[in-house]
Structure 1
Amino acid sequence: MSINNPYQTYKNNTTVTASPGELTLMLYDGCIKFVNHAKKAIENKNIGDKNLYIQKSQNIIQELMVTLKMEYPISKNMMSLYDYINRRLIEANIRSDVSILEEVEELVTEFRDTWKQVIQLNRQKKYASNDGQA
């Protein structure tokens, strides 16, 4: 008989039931988390962990690139920005440069905060339009 980890069950359910917008938010949060782990690894001179966490950040950025809907003009701009972030992550990995990771963290945090506002505005519009239907 296996004992389930309640936190892991919650985390799995959160991911499975999340909307596409919430999943994007989770990707941004994950990227920020891994960038912070990479910064700590550089400070601790742990090259293996630095590489691992920067690669995890790159994987998230690449996932964000793949999920862009290129029929929207903003997507072309986002693609360029994601490509820039990806190149900076490569450079940070090669140079073990915390300042580059801080730049990446700042950009991704800005994207995450903007995305969070978009989700909140969409929820407000959805609930405002449903008020008259009750």
Structure 2
Amino acid sequence: MVYNALSSYQKVQVSSEINPQKLIHMLYDGAIKRISFAREGVINKNPKQRGENLSKAIAIISELNASLRNIEGEEISFLRSLFLSMMQELCKVSITNDIQTLDRATKYLMELKRIWETSVMGQADTAENTNPKTAQKKEIPSMSYSGYERHGQKTTSIAI
């Protein structure tokens, strides 16, 4: 019981001290890693490994999506739609065991991580930018992926 309380306290302490840009980077890493483990579960016909890791990957992608809640713009709308589509498609893998869906989700996340590293993390090297209280807002770069189309206010699901 004491260990659980201490562990929870340490997690809160770490999350409040970490640079927000680094935290997003860690989320991308975690999602990619969990999808990789889920892929192994599909290949090895291990539903427990597949299910647990898909669930964790979806939760991480949900957190990435939640990090956009107070930001507006066309690029942000695109990211929200992309994250939501990934979560929907990853849920289907529990039934379909579709490795191609996992590979596409990994590809998207790796590309988003690369963009994050070059556009945001590359700018976060100064001491002023490493303090979350004084860090300036960074612009999310424009991006476009085939398979994503916007029709008026409705978006079509991408084939992840």
CA contact 1:41–1:47 (8 Å) conserved in 2 = yes
Q: Does 1:41 align with 2:35?
A: no
- Aligned twin of 2:155: none
Identity %: 24
Q: Which runs of 5+ in 1 are unaligned?
A: 1-11, 128-134
Q: Give secondary structure in 1 for the equivalent of 2:125.
A: helix
CA contact (8 A) 2:21 2:124 kept: no
Q: Unmatched 5+ residue regions in structure 2?
A: 1-10, 130-160
Assess if the C-alpha contact under 8 Å between 2:68 and 2:76 holds in 1. Answer: yes
In structure 2, relative to structure 1, the CA distance for the partners of 1:47 and 1:27 (3 Å cut) is same
Q: Distance in 2 between matches of 1:56 and 1:69?
A: 20
Alpha-carbon distance in structure 2 between the residues aligned to 1:39 and 1:89: 11
1:109 aligns with 2:110: yes
C-alpha deviation, 1:14, in angstroms: 6.5
* Residue in structure 2 matching 1:120, options 119, 122, 131: 122
TM-score by length of 2: 0.66
User: For residue 66 of structure 2, what is the aligned residue in structure 1?
Assistant: 66
Distance of 2:39 and 2:107 partners within structure 1: 13
- Secondary structure at the aligned position of 2:41 is classed as helix
Inter-partner Cα distance in structure 1 for 2:52 and 2:36:
12
* Structure 1 contact 34–54 (Cα < 8 Å) conserved: yes
Q: Is the 8 A contact 1:25 1:112 kept in 2?
A: yes
Deviation at 1:70?
A: 4.1
Pairwise CA distance, 1:71: 3.4
The residue number in structure 1 matching 2:21 is 21
Alpha-carbon deviations, 1:93-134, whole Å to 9, x = none? 22011111000000000011111112113436x69xxxxxxx
CA distance in 1, matches of 2:58, 2:109: 12
Residues of 2 paired with 1:93 and 1:22: CA distance? 30
Q: Which amino acid aligns with 1:95?
A: T
User: Residue 19 of structure 1 aligns to which amino acid in structure 2?
Assistant: N
Matched residues, number: 118
Q: Name whichever of 48-57 and 15-24 sits farther off.
A: 15-24
**Aligned-CA RMSD value:** 2.3
Name the one with the larger helix percent: 1
Aligned counterparts of 1:82 and 1:38: Cα–Cα separation in 2: 18
SS at match of 1:88: helix
Does 70-79 or 42-51 show the bigger shift? Answer: 70-79
| Alignment-derived partner of residue 3 in structure 1 | none
